[in-house]
Amino acid sequence: MREIGHFIGGKHVKGAGRTSDVFQPMTGEVIGKVALATKAEVRAAVENAKAAQPAWAATNPQRRARVMFKFLELVARDNEKLAELLAREHGKTIPDAKGDIQRGVEVVEFACGIPHLMKGEYTESAGAGIDLYSMRQPLGVVAGITPFNFPAMIPMWKFAPAIACGNAFILKPSERDPGVPMLLAELMIEAGLPAGILNVVNGDKEAVDGILDDPDIRAIGFVGSTPIAEYIYTRGTASGKRVQCFGGAKNHMIVMPDADMDQVVDALIGAGYGAAGERCMAISVAVPVGKKTADELVGRLIPRVESLKIGPSTSADADFGPMITKAHLEKVKNYVEIGVKEGAKLKVDGRGFKMQGYENGFYMGGCLFDEVKPDMRIYKEEIFGPVLSVVRAKDYQEGLDLANKHEYGNGVAIFTRDGDAARDFASRVEVGMVGINFAIPVPLAYHTFGGWKKSVFGDLNQHGPDSVRFYTKTKTVTSRWPSGVKDGAEFTIPTMK
């Protein structure tokens, strides 16, 4: 059985105390033990990072970028190994695991442009003999707390721009699937990253609190559930840290009467059930506009959901695999029972699914609810499983209002052939990421990713230009040399006069 400790100072370090089981979701077996860091172990990682960071910050940005370029080569070399490990610990299929890795790689590619991204501004002769210029400088030691559902992508979203900017990074990945983040850290060292610039501490709440309270950690990025996001943001900012936290979601897809229904059904099946619904950009609410649209949509969805192929992570033709843990599986099943008791119409019930030969795995078939109402828990709360709810809207405005009034505002989509309706929707919807005939509107790496309302806490988004702003501080210099200095003291603030 594999024992997973921490990665500090460029080498693996055995944990000092408690451990947690790492499961293989497709079989239900325990395949490893992961160390749960104490605050002292977190502090040791921070001290190591703090000692290494000044030299890395002084390394010119071209050389920092070269480490990122080499890291990309190594990830490509080990892509199969990474994908197999990810699928084994998480449960997602191999193609989905490769997609997880690729979306992380794209942010690393963006970070390779750090020599350009770190450039400041310059104004010659801003005043008589006065030049003004600004520079971006790293914060120092920063940290990322990342979730189980994207164990490759989100760590890379966090550490790649942070390290490229000249910071040292403490990564606290999910203890449920820690293998891939540890392997990524090894590859960064192989790529030429100095020891201590990327340290990985595995753990649970004790490790998180150690990060939140450590005086030398200047910034924290988090992705996870909204209650924990709010906790981390509140405690982190109270201790003077810069914090960005991305929480839960309840993403709607508005289906207009003129939409291409074939396209709509394909989009909903992929966006609603891909990765077993364990992603913050999953579409979990379909909002057909008008009775005719709703009846046709539900009629088409039922056989498609019933025919979904659920299989082990290694299956070449599975649509999705098992869920991450037995506890999470039971939580999702409980939500389905809540929906039934609340009066929603369960059109497809996947709770009884059993995978032949994998009876102890954490599997569940797709579920489909119709006639879900906005006051039901299954509508208001994030389920994070293969459960799609249909909420019928009488007209476009009601559909728009559903998305706007929900407390979450991560992603939303509209399917229509009407350009005017799509333009109005994009302008008026109160959600951070919008898809037009596009079900999962995750921006590419050179734009920023972030929701609104209770889906986010903090002012700056992930990746894209916001990531450079988040992981740096701006210094502005006003320069005047002796030949331009006037005699006499100046008692007023400088102006443009």
- Check residue 239 and report its DSSP letter: T
Tell me, yes or no, whether 448 lies in a domain: no
Instruction: Identify whether residues 408 and 469 lie together within a single domain.
Output: no
DSSP β-bridge partners for residue 44: none
Instruction: Identify whether residues 416 and 276 lie together within a single domain.
Output: yes
Q: How far is it, in rounded angstroms, from Cα 24 to Cα 20?
A: 13
Segments of the chain scoring below 70 in pLDDT: 484-487, 496-497
92 phi and psi angles, rounded to 5 deg: -70, 160
Instruction: Identify whether residues 403 and 464 lie together within a single domain.
Output: no
Tell me, yes or no, whether 447 lies in a domain: no
Cβ–Cβ under 8 Å, residues 122 and 132: yes
Instruction: Identify whether residues 177 and 325 lie together within a single domain.
Output: no
Q: In the prediction, which pLDDT does 492 show?
A: 73
- Number of structural domains, the chain? 2
For 130, residues 6+ apart whose C-beta sits below 8 A from its C-beta are 478, 479, 480, 484, 494
Tell me, yes or no, whether 115 lies in a domain: yes
Domain of 182, in residue numbers? 2-247+455-477
Locate 414 and state its tokens: 């509209």
Instruction: Identify whether residues 243 and 260 lie together within a single domain.
Output: no
Give tens-digit pLDDT for 271-329. 999 999 999 999 999 999 999 999 999 999 999 999 999 999 999 899 999 999 999 99
Instruction: Identify whether residues 387 and 462 lie together within a single domain.
Output: no
- Helix, strand, coil content of the chain in percent (nearest 5): 40, 25, 35
The b-or-e profile of 32-54 (16+ CB within 10 A means b, else e) is bbbbbbbeebbbbbbbbbbebbe
Locate 155 and state its tokens: 């760590």
Instruction: Identify whether residues 199 and 75 lie together within a single domain.
Output: yes
Instruction: Identify whether residues 420 and 459 lie together within a single domain.
Output: no
Q: Which ranges in 274-418 belong to alpha helices (H)?
A: 291-306, 326-342, 377-380, 396-405
Name the region of 343 (left: φ>0; alpha: ψ -120 to 50; beta: rest): left
| CATH assignment at residue 67 | 3.40.605.10
| CATH assignment at residue 378 | 3.40.309.10
Instruction: Identify whether residues 115 and 27 lie together within a single domain.
Output: yes
Q: In the prediction, which pLDDT does 100 show?
A: 97
Q: In the prediction, which pLDDT does 485 show?
A: 56
Instruction: Identify whether residues 342 and 385 lie together within a single domain.
Output: yes
Instruction: Identify whether residues 399 and 377 lie together within a single domain.
Output: yes
Tell me, yes or no, whether 493 lies in a domain: no
Tell me, yes or no, whether 332 lies in a domain: yes
Half-sphere exposure of 159 (CA within 13 A, CB side): 30
Q: Please provide the DSSP assignment of 299-340 as one string.
A: HHHHHHHHT--B--TT-SS-SB---S-HHHHHHHHHHHHHHH
Q: Taking the alpha carbons of 225, 99, 322, 336 in that order, is the dihedral positive or negative? A: positive
Instruction: Identify whether residues 262 and 365 lie together within a single domain.
Output: yes
Q: In the prediction, which pLDDT does 497 show?
A: 64
Cβ–Cβ under 8 Å, residues 288 and 299: no
Active-site positions?
280
Whether the full predicted model's pTM is greater than 0.85, yes or no, is yes
